[in-house]
Amino acid sequence: VGAGEFGTSLITQSLGHPAIDVPVVADIDPDRAVNVLLRCGVAGDGIEICRDAASAQDAMMAGKVAVVPDGLLLVDTDIDLVVEATGAPEAAAAVSEAAILAGKHLVLASKEIASVCGPWLAKLAADKGVVYTLPDGDQPSLLIGLISRAELLGLEVVMAGKASEYDVVWHRAKGELSYHGQTFAVPDFADNWQLDGADIPEVLADRAAPLGPTALKSVPDLCEMMLVCNATGLRPDFDAFHAPLARTVELPDVFRPETEGGILMEAGGGVVDIVNCLRRFDELSLAGGVFVIVRCTDRETWQVIKAKGIPVSSCGNYGLLHNPVHLLGIEAAASIIAAAQGGMPTSGRTPRPAFDLVGRATREFKAGEVLDMGGHH
């Protein structure tokens, strides 16, 4: 349901997948869905726009891909699983509930609705004997999986996080930082490029200062981390997040307790945060990836790991495990197959409504003013 960025990437990858069939696509703009299918190599006579569930079912039985204008029509067809990827809260809620009540597994890519009623949908799915899961390809499920892997290995997760949507890129020759289409003059930024035993909070503040009021914390990032908290029992270090401007190799030093020179107020660990990836223009991006900081219980072993290129803090107490990619619908096949064939979610079995995402005004606005998310959310 939804032929936007996530839905399109899912369709393009799934049409040739040996374990997945895409017999029906729903989008409020049927022509957009048709164009996606044509781009993926589906013949024009193999696509049929249908206005009701019965005609969609007939088209599917004839070997065609049915396109419907409403996701609620899709759930009444003979399919095993629904992927909801509209990002539209009201529509996503209605389709998600209807899919579960119709006995379909649900892969919910719309974090907007997962953040509000995901735990209830998970319980409803369990009661109906189907699977509710967030999809791999988006950061919440990928980070939940990385946390689970670390815990499976017996590692203590001190902190878990994700990279923000956009990198801050240093162009040394120009003396500039670039961020999401904006540039900032930083002639002396080399002084803050390395931590080198300096006061970490002070260096982080100096790095962020040239960006002024530029928002390094976004609502989508906070929303996704709330999903991780509700699925894992981890919690924010504080409600607004630190969201430092840091290089990937620095993460074990930055995300350690204040008592050891880092920025975490919670010395006991088990917290979440986000990072704005700082890099040179010619360096590999963290690419909106996910990571965990784990406690190094045996320093000698972790020095061996460090020698293999894994970032370890300068004090030797903390190590970085990271997955530097999120591939949208290209990776969602893992969650689809886990749900439909294995009866398992990839984002935890029992999300609980422990945390909420709430709005806080940062400027005055008037009644009736339209609030625009901006970007592609």
- Average pLDDT in the chain: 95
Concatenated DSSP letters of 88-157: -HHHHHHHHHHHHHTT-EEEE--HHHHHHHHHHHHHHHHHHT--EEPPTTSHHHHHHHHHHHHHHTT--E
pLDDT tens column, 149-163? 999 999 999 999 999
Question: Which stretches in the chain have pLDDT values below 50?
Answer: none
pTM: 0.94
Provide the b/e sequence for 239-276 (b: ≥16 CB within 10 Å): eebbbbbbbbebbbbbbbbeeebbbbeeeebebbbbbb
Query: Rounded to the nearest 10 degrees, what angle do helices 219-232 and 111-128 cross at?
Result: 30
Give the pLDDT score at 377.
58
d(CA 154, CA 303): 18
C-alpha separations of 242 from 74, 105, 181 in Å: 42, 36, 23
By residue count, the chain amounts to: 377
- Output DSSP code: residue 257: B
Q: What is the C-alpha separation between 100 and 171, in angstroms, rounded?
A: 50
The predicted structure's pLDDT at residue 212: 83
**What local confidence, expressed as pLDDT, does residue 269 receive?**
83
Per-domain boundaries in the chain: 5-138+329-340, 140-325
Quickly name the fold that domain 5-138+329-340 has: Rossmann fold (3.40.50)
What pLDDT does 376 receive?
58
* Block residue for tokens 């940062």: 362
